Amino acid sequence: MNAFIHHYFVHIIAAVTILSRVADVATTYLVTPRLKLEANAIARRLGWKYALATILIGFIPYYSVPMGIIVLTASLLVAASNASKIMMARVLGEDELAALNRRVLAATPLWPGLFYILLPAFLVGLLGAVMLLFYPTPDTWGYYFAYGVLVYAFVIAVWGPLRFLRAKARLGQMGG
């Protein structure tokens, strides 16, 4: 590691972690300015003040660089996922995209739907597990990047099915 990076390492990790949180919030805004499509029920309920406050998590490297790496990794993956939806959201608009999502939900049976929702979490989690095979101990940064990937997998494994099941319940289609 060159002298500059070594000397400013914590500040660099903090800056990139803050950037990752800003990217998450900004891409969320570009997809769903009224949070109608937000998967995280807490963020949807508490609104933009809460979402903006989550940027402060970006300062966690000043407390723990390894935790900062985990937050950085998970936040960049969330932002990338959000960014993959920007074009459709901007072209259709939040209301039409929400209506399209409702139509897709109404046409998707419960069990294959849960499988489809959980498959990305499984695949991302598998990547994190493979990374842990190569970086099995906390004496390497890869270990913490792997945990960031696993945290992201956990987040999509929790919020995706919860949102899907809530939507199916609203549609009265929980029977199977």
The CA distance from 68 to 17, in Å, is 7
Asked, for residue 124, whether it belongs to a domain, the answer is yes
The CA distance from 104 to 142, in Å, is 38
**Closest-CA residue to 105 (of 37, 51, 55):** 37
Decide if 30 contacts 97 (C-beta within 8 A).
Answer: no
Cβ burial of 147 (10 Å; 0-12, 13-18, 19+) is: buried
Domain that includes residue 107, residue range: 3-171
Asked, for residue 176, whether it belongs to a domain, the answer is no
Total count of domains within the chain: 1
In the predicted structure, residue 1 carries a pLDDT above the cut 80: no
Asked, for residue 150, whether it belongs to a domain, the answer is yes
Predicted TM-score (pTM) of the model is 0.93
Per residue in 121-145, pLDDT tens?
999 999 999 999 999 999 999 999 9
